[in-house]
Structure 1
Amino acid sequence: MSLSPDFFFQHSGMDADTVTRLLDNSLHGLDDGELFLEYSQSEALLLDDGRLKSASFDTNQGFGLRGVSGEATGYAHASELSAAAIARAAETVKAVRSGASGTLSHPPIGTNRQLYSPANPLDTQDFAQKVALLRSIDAYARQKDNKVVQVSVSLAGSWQVVEIMRPGGQRARDIRPLVRLNVSLVLASGERRESASYGGGGRHGYDDFFKEATWKRYVDEAYRQGEVALESVNAPAGTMPVVLGPGWPGILLHEAIGHGLEGDFNRKKTSAFSGLLGERVGSKGVTIVDDGTLDQRRGSLTIDDEGTPTSRTVLIEDGILKGYMQDRTNARLMGMAATGNGRRESHAHQPMPRMTNTYMLSGEHDPGAILESVQDGLYAVNFGGGQVDITSGKFVFSCTEAYRIRSGKIAEPVKGATLIGNGPDVLTRVKMIGNDLALDPGVGTCGKGGQSVPAGVGQPTLLVDALTVGGTA
């Protein structure tokens, strides 16, 4: 398939000049808007209990046409790539002209950087090779121990081509690969059964997954987590010091704090961080960034879904609130600069401010010293699901791997622990920050407003001096 600059027009048979004229006419007099073109391929394979339970391959294409007038948006989309369909969509977009300033916002600046290869990962190995990989993983997991009673292995990949067109002929294109491999195990001992999973991914090809060292590491880690779960005892309940491990525990940071730093919630003053720019919102040493420019990371993008190059946006610096994540609309209405955080699930969705890779920077403390400083507390290493109220910042998160800390040492694993707190309050209770920043393995998906997009998280080891722990002991 051709990947020339006129990919969408060669693929669909549309005439570029005709589409440009339609776009110019439909957005004339509005404050902002764009034509978002999308073509994508995706596949997913699932091997469950030694059998190929499902295998799918999908191709999708379409466009979304948006016009913005003040705070009002007109949006129309279709899976048909044709000038006639775009012309019909233009009639919807024109309906929001009332109240527009009459001056179209300046387009985003261009970029020549490339954060990931444009190669289609779905084409690098054939179907038989992918199934063989899943069977090898299944066999390795089962031979580890007779405690392994169930194995599920999934492989998923996608290849997305997007182009953002603006009045005057400006065009920006991005070609985005995305892959993920996941291993889920159920371990049994006597009457007790526990599940665990581990995986990885990013914006690259499948090649790394086919390396024996990679997939064996995934199985070994899932197995380790399962063994820990089998040995766990009921979690304590009460308020106590909590040490958060590095890497994936950054999901708590993402949910309890990150969403509250997105531009739309702050423009509407529904975030716990609204109106606090320049003020202290966290302990000294707490620096949080959202960075969409990391090579091959799951949450990274060369440009966002409005055509703005992504950036490394400092949100909180040394405890001081410095900025928000912005798409074009909320940035314009707040008198700020767009940060490259305008994201959408597909052409059928409008863009909104979303996180990319959000993480806290390292501090100066040795992780071992952080644990040694706690006489009686909880060490939370992995998290499952949770709930967050953006307005208040209150959250509840369940731990999938946690340990009791006794006299500065990691003691027995516990099950059923939940962390209950308030995101802004937790930031002020961070007492020690480790020097071991780690990012998640590349499996995160973020939901907001009915849309899901890939995202990344990370953090170093952290000590929160007091958090409410819900338990069953």
Structure 2
Amino acid sequence: MTYADPRGFLYRSLDPDAAKKLAGRHLAGHDDGELYLQYRVSEAFGFDDGRLKTADYNSASGFGLRGVSGETTAFAHANEISAAAIERAAATLKLLDPAKGPAAPPPARTNQAMYGAEDPLSLVPFAEKVALCQKIDAAARARDPRVEQVSVSLLASWSVIDIHRADGFTATDVRPLVRLGVQIMARDGDRREAGFHGLGGRYLYDKLFDEAEWNRAIDVALAQALVNLESIAAPAGEMTVVCGPGWPGVLLHEAIGHGLEGDFNRKGTSAFSGRIGERVASPGVTVVDDGAILNRRGSLTIDDEGTPTGRTVLIEDGILKGYMQDRLNARLMGMEPTGNGRRESFAHAPMPRMTNTFMLAGQDDPDELVSRVKDGVYAKSFGGGQVDITSGKFVFSCTEAYRIRGGKIAEPLKGATLIGDGPSVLTRVRGIGNDLALDEGVGICGKAGQSVPAGVGQPTLLVDGLTVGGTAA
């Protein structure tokens, strides 16, 4: 379904001009702030054990009213968009001290509209979504007699936001998002191993319903499960590690990405605080955050404060160049906002967050990088991990990994974990492949209790001296 004006979902009980006036009256006299209106619908299908297990649908609308004075933020929200509710929320702003200087200027304007008004949920009937899950389940089970269990997840959301400021600034964004996940459990005798592949982004369901795409998801998940059936116990100790392209960039995201967000650096709690202009990585390492890549999961036309997204160079040829900023931290640090002010929903205040964060390609041939390693580990895909944002110390588990022997990829490994800290890992990069790839659209980033979709990526990387945790000496 196409909507002439998707904002109609926001203004069923409130006139847009009234919202603008309310923002002007209640936010005046503060350094910054906004009235953030949101309407969101979402659905999730879970297909498991050959049948539909869950089918959830949710719709929500509401507002968040935020005032900022100095370093202090007052924030109130409600799941009712009305003048009365906004008036009640405005009482919270009375706790703020008046601004001592001129109010922060509004965000820059953009004519960019990254997405159309189409709602992916309503364009495809319920029965067709269930049928897709059934097709994937049947096709996966027919691939190999060792397939014991198949789980399919299909998710979509559609969000419309409006932002009003005291200075009269108004901005609108419409945000579609879809995702498909396929997990396969394979069995050989008493041994069971899993494989997973997912894809998605800010587009409609069309791509996920393409037979070639969902068949590829099956193939990748099955190949991973079957490889893991042949895996042996991973070694332990300090080793040379080659990380594959694409999704392994999640290690980069967690280990150093959060440490490059403005709030941690303003407060001096990041390992990168006060280090702009210093060498923090090996030559050739360039890391960017780019929220303006069409169709990517982490992309946005504007962030949740109204600032247009774009490419922010964080590290260039090993030198720290900048941080990801929202409006509050940028103002307090004397820097410019970078379009990284993000929030989970109207019920949350914005903070500096990543969009699509990745390392740029180098000049090395990926196969040649592997050939340099006499004895090491090739990490092709990662699962869960734990990271200390302050120090950058991390532990990541590999969902698919291999031993490297004599410059060639050898037997698959089970139970491999990578242990290290982001700042020092960047200085141990000895080779950067020419095969940059972004992940296929499944990333979710958590911070301070808020979750937002995000993208990651990298080329093949040769890292010298990472600690590998395993089960074999």
Normalising to structure 2: TM-score of the pair?
0.98
1:64 equivalent in structure 2? 64
Deviations for 1:416-448, whole angstroms, at most 9, x for unmatched residues? 011111100000000000000000010000000
In 2, the alpha carbon distance for the partners of 1:6 and 1:132 equals 32
| Partner deviation per Cα, 1:319-352 (whole Å, 9 max, x = no partner) | 0000000000000000000000000000000000
**Which residue identity lines up with residue 55 of structure 1 in the other structure?**
A
The alignment status of 1:105 with 2:90, answered yes or no, reads no
Change (3 A) 1:321 1:230: same
Q: What secondary structure is seen at the aligned counterpart in 2 of 1:299? A: coil
Deviation at 1:19, TM superposition (A): 2.6
Q: 1:416 to 1:450 in 2, by over 3 A?
A: same
Amino acid at match of 2:227: V
User: Separation in 2 of the partners of 1:90 and 1:258?
Assistant: 35
Q: How does 1:330-409 map to 2 (within 5 A)?
A: 330-409=329-408
SS in 2 for 1:240: strand
Contact conserved, 1:29 with 1:102, CA < 8 A, in 2? no
Task: Tell me how far 1:29 sits from its aligned partner.
Answer: 1.2
Q: In angstroms, what is the RMSD of aligned CA positions?
A: 1.1
Answer yes or no: is 1:220 the counterpart of 2:210. Answer: no
Shift of 1:392: 1.4
Matches within 5 A, 1:155-194: 155-194=154-193
CA distance in 1, matches of 2:384, 2:96: 39
1:91-111 Cα offsets, whole Å, 9 max, x none, are: 10221125x324221010111
| Partner in structure 2 of residue 22 of structure 1 | 22
1:199 and 2:198 matched: yes
Matches within 5 A, 1:322-337: 322-337=321-336
Which residue of structure 1 lines up, in the alignment, with residue 12 of structure 2? 12
Q: Is the 8 A contact 1:30 1:102 kept in 2?
A: no
For 1:328, give the aligned amino acid: R
Whole-angstrom distance in 2 between the partners of 1:2 and 1:204? 16
Query: Quick one: which amino acid aligns to residue 370 of structure 2?
Result: L
- Partner SS state of residue 363, structure 1: coil
Q: What one-letter code is carried by the residue in structure 1 that aligns with 2:65?
A: L
Q: Find the aligned partners of 1:3 and 1:174 in 2 and give their Cα distance.
A: 14
Query: How far apart, in 2, do the equivalents of 1:255 and 1:122 lie?
Result: 31
Q: SS at 2:26's partner residue?
A: helix
Task: Give the aligned partner of residue 244 of structure 2.
Answer: 245
1:326, 1:353 within 8 Å by CA — same for their partners in 2? yes
Q: Which amino acid aligns with 1:64?
A: G
Give the Cα separation in 1 of the matches to 2:91 and 2:9: 22
Identify if the C-alpha distance between structure 1 residues 330 and 198 changes in structure 2 by more than 3 Å, giving closer, same or farther: same
| AA at the equivalent of 1:374 | V
Write the letter of the residue equivalent to 1:161.
V
Per the alignment, do residues 56 and 8 of structure 1 end up closer, same or farther by CA in structure 2, a change over 3 Å counting?
A: closer
Deviation at 1:2, TM superposition (A): 4.9
Matched letter for residue 448 of structure 1: K
Q: Which amino acid aligns with 2:78?
A: A
Further displaced range: 142-151 or 434-443: 142-151
Amino acid of the structure 1 residue aligned with 2:296: R
* Distance in 2 separating the partners of 1:341 and 1:71: 18
- Check conservation: 1:253, 1:359, Cα contact below 8 A: yes
Within 1, Cα distance between the matches of 2:141 and 2:370?
A: 35
Task: Indicate the residue corresponding to 1:428 in structure 2.
Answer: 427
| Secondary structure in structure 1 of the residue aligned to 2:115 | coil
Percent identity reads: 66
Superposed counterparts of 1:31-70, under 5 Å: 31-70=31-70
Distance 1:433 1:2 in 2: 46
- Could you tell me how far 1:123 is from its partner in structure 2? 1.6
Query: Separation in 2 of the partners of 1:38 and 1:152?
Result: 32
Residue correspondence of structure 1 range 106-145 to structure 2 within 5 A = 106-145=105-144
Contact 1:440–1:456 (8 Å) recurs in 2: yes
Which secondary structure does the structure 2 equivalent of 1:130 belong to?
A: helix
Following the alignment from structure 1 to structure 2, what is the Cα–Cα distance between the partners of residues 143 and 384? Answer: 26
Measured in 1, the distance between the counterparts of 2:168 and 2:70 equals 23
Query: Partners of 2:370 and 2:455 in 1: how far apart?
Result: 26
The change in CA–CA distance for 1:15 and 1:102 in structure 2 (over 3 A counts) is farther
What is aligned with 1:465? 464
CA–CA distance in structure 2, aligned partners of residues 203 and 338 of structure 1: 23
1:160–1:176 contact (8 Å) kept in structure 2: yes
User: In structure 2, what is the Cα distance between the partners aligned to 1:83 and 1:3?
Assistant: 24
Q: Distance in 2 between matches of 1:6 and 1:162?
A: 8
| Matched residue, 2:418 | 419
Cα displacement string for residues 387-415 of structure 1 (whole angstroms, at most 9, x for unaligned residues): 11122111111111100000000000001
The SS at the match of 1:21 is: helix
How many residue pairs get aligned? The number is 471
Query: What is the TM-score when the length of structure 1 is the normalising length?
Result: 0.98
Query: Residues 128-172 of structure 1, C-alpha deviation per residue, up to 9 Å, x if partnerless?
Result: 111111100000001111211111111100000001111132210
Look up the SS of the partner of 1:12 in the other structure.
coil
Q: Which amino acid aligns with 1:145?
A: D
